[in-house]
Homo-oligomer: A and B are copies of this chain.
Amino acid sequence: MNGPYERHAFVCLGGKSCPALGSEAVFAALKAKVADASLRDRVRVNKAGCMSQCGNGPMVCLYPDNVWYAGVRPEDADAIFAHLCGGPPHGPRLYRPAKPGSNQIA
């Protein structure tokens, strides 16, 4: 591994579903947490295109942990930010995909 970040979160801002479900506000809340904590050299929050889980969002995936969140709201930003900084996963929004790969229900 040669990545410049300890952990990297991606928020779906693409596709037909996540933006309509409020992913832009989730993205903004997470970016603000990182900026406020002056942790931009350790962790990163990025916009991402559709992850093919439409209808389960807003989707956030956190790597290299490979932990995914579904139905995320801005109020979850504190807990997901804590995970991004090395804390435990945020249990209430953990995604449970029905199967590997695409899981589009919308």
Enumerate chain A interface residues (CB-CB to B < 8 A). 1-6, 8, 10, 13-14, 40-42, 44, 46-53, 61, 63-68, 94-97, 99-103
Contact = CB atoms under 8 A, between A and B. Distances in A.
Contact of A64 (B42, B44, B53, B65): B65
B100 A42 contact: yes
Contacts of A94: 2
Interface class of chain A by DSSP:
loop
B1 A67 contact: yes
A64 B3 CA distance: 11
A68 B2 contact: yes
A82 B101 CA distance: 18
A23 to B, nearest CB: 12
